[in-house]
Amino acid sequence: GEDVEQSLFLSVREGDSSVINCTYTDSSSTYLYWYKQEPGAGLQLLTYIFSNMDMKQDQRLTVLLNKKDKHLSLRIADTQTGDSAIYFCAETLSGGYQKVTFGTGTKLQVIP
Amino acid sequence: DAGVTQSPTHLIKTRGQQVTLRCSPISGHKSVSWYQQVLGQGPQFIFQYYEKEERGRGNFPDRFSARQFPNYSSELNVNALLLGDSALYLCASSFQNTIYFGEGSWLTVV
């Protein structure tokens, strides 16, 4: 079945790199997403990667996908205090309708 | 360009009442989906609509219903509200595999 898992909490110092990890169970994942949620707000799409890709880079964000291990990571370079938020890993599966399955979210705390 | 817009942003209802939440997708997007996010959890899929037809439904009771209009906007209705329906309700608009979410409607059931 569908299951997306993330660690609950990550703390980093301002200026360091952050790496948020995610594992998923369903091998029929087609697209994998990273969303950011600030307190009291909706979800902001950060980036997404097609499941046949290994890496995608977008400014300070780097997504790495290890399809064999079903492991996805999001690296944020030069982490800033404005990056403090909850980060959700999510997947959609092939076939049928478009349903996004989310992880439980990783709370990123950036220490000045 | 306007993103996904939802209304109302906050509302308080009493147990047993009914609520209607509204969503306008990004211009040109024909797919609208609804999600429920309970505090401290990731969003859970409720419905997807595409071209005014229901394409998928999550594991929610029949008290939850939705529809999509010719202009692709959508409404989510929840009848016979329970305390456990208190949550953030998110609308998503998508074009191919790019999925954008609105700011959500915060529903509190008392």
Question: Which chain A residues are closer than 8 Å to B56 by Cβ?
Answer: 96-99
| CB proximity list for A100: less than 8 A, separation 6 or greater | A33, A90, A91, A92, B33, B35, B43, B45, B92, B99
pLDDT digits (tens, 9 = 90+) for B4-36: 999 999 999 999 999 999 999 999 999 999 999
Give the per-residue pLDDT at A25. 87
On whether any CB of chain A is under 8 Å from the CB of B42, the answer is: yes
Q: Are the C-beta atoms of A91 and A33 separated by less than 8 Å?
A: yes
| CB proximity list for B8: less than 8 A, separation 6 or greater | B21, B105
Band the pLDDT of B41: cuts 50, 70, 90: very high
pLDDT digits (tens, 9 = 90+) for A72-105: 999 999 999 999 999 999 999 877 788 999 999 9
Give the per-residue pLDDT at A2. 66
Distance from C-alpha of B35 to C-alpha of B50, rounded to nearest angstrom: 15
User: Which among B35, B55, B90 has the least Cβ separation from residue A97?
Assistant: B55
Distance from C-alpha of A40 to C-alpha of A83, rounded to nearest angstrom: 15
Question: Which chain B residues are closer than 8 Å to A91 by Cβ?
Answer: none
Q: Are the C-beta atoms of B78 and B63 separated by less than 8 Å?
A: yes
On whether any CB of chain A is under 8 Å from the CB of B35, the answer is: yes
Give the per-residue pLDDT at A1. 54
Question: Which chain A residues are closer than 8 Å to B6 by Cβ?
Answer: 42
Question: What's the whole-number mean pLDDT along residues B35-55?
Answer: 95
pLDDT digits (tens, 9 = 90+) for A10-37: 999 999 999 999 999 887 888 999 999 9
Contact A48 B94 (CB under 8 A): no
Band the pLDDT of B1: cuts 50, 70, 90: low
